[in-house]
C-alpha cells in the first residue's frame, strides 16, 4: 500500500438509514476510486481486534456493540494523498464539530454513531485493508 490508498467502512447507522448510495456518491464525486468493496458484518472478536487501540477507552464496549449491530460496507479507496484527503472529507469524529459539507456533518447522528470510518495513517490503512481483504482482492 502506498500513499494513494486508504480504508473506509460505512458504519451500521449508514446502512440502516439507507445511506450507502449517497455516501458512495459523495466519496466518488470527491475524486476517490473504489479499489475493493464488500457488504459484510463484523463479529464481536472482529470488532475488538479492529479497534484494539481503543480497548482501554470508556466507550470501547459500546463501540464494539454498535459496530457489530448490523451490516457495514468495507472499502479500499484510491486517490493522491488518500489518507489525509479522506479524513478531511469525513470531518471530525463528533459530527457536532464536523465542518459543513463533510460526510459526518451530512450523515452522522452522534460521536459514537458517526456514519463512516477513515484510516488515520498509511500504516493503518494498510493494516485495516488487510483485515478485510485478501491480497488478490486489493489489485
Closest distance of CB 94 from ligand IDP, Å = 8
Q: Report CA torsion sign: 55, 118, 74, 105.
A: positive
Closest distance of CB 104 from ligand IDP, Å = 8
8 Å CB contact between 12 and 72:
yes
CB under 5 to 8 A by kind: which of ligand IDP, Mg ion, none does 112 bind? Answer: ligand IDP
Span 7-46, contacts to ligand IDP by CB under 6 A: none
Q: Identify the residue whose cell numbers are 486489493.
A: 138
Of 78 and 120, which CB lies nearer to ligand IDP in the complex structure? 120
Establish if 93 lies at the interface with ligand IDP (CB under 6 A): yes
Closest C-alpha among 79, 91, 73, 78 to residue 20: 73
Amino acid at each position: 500500500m502506498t500513499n494513494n490508498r486508504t480504508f473506509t467502512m460505512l458504519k451500521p447507522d449508514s446502512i440502516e438509514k439507507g445511506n450507502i448510495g449517497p455516501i458512495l456518491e459523495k466519496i466518488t464525486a470527491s475524486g476517490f476510486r473504489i479499489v475493493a468493496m464488500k457488504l459484510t458484518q463484523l463479529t464481536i472478536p472482529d470488532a475488538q481486534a479492529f479497534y484494539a487501540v481503543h480497548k482501554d477507552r470508556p466507550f470501547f464496549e459500546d463501540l464494539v456493540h454498535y459496530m457489530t449491530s448490523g451490516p457495514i460496507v468495507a472499502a479500499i479507496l484510491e486517490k493522491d494523498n488518500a489518507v489525509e484527503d479522506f479524513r478531511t472529507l469525513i470531518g471530525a469524529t463528533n459530527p457536532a464539530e464536523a465542518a459543513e459539507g463533510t460526510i459526518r456533518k451530512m450523515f452522522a447522528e452522534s460521536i459514537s454513531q458517526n456514519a463512516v470510518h477513515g484510516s488515520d495513517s498509511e500504516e493503518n490503512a494498510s493494516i485495516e485493508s488487510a483485515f478485510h481483504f485478501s491480497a488478490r482482492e486489493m489489485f
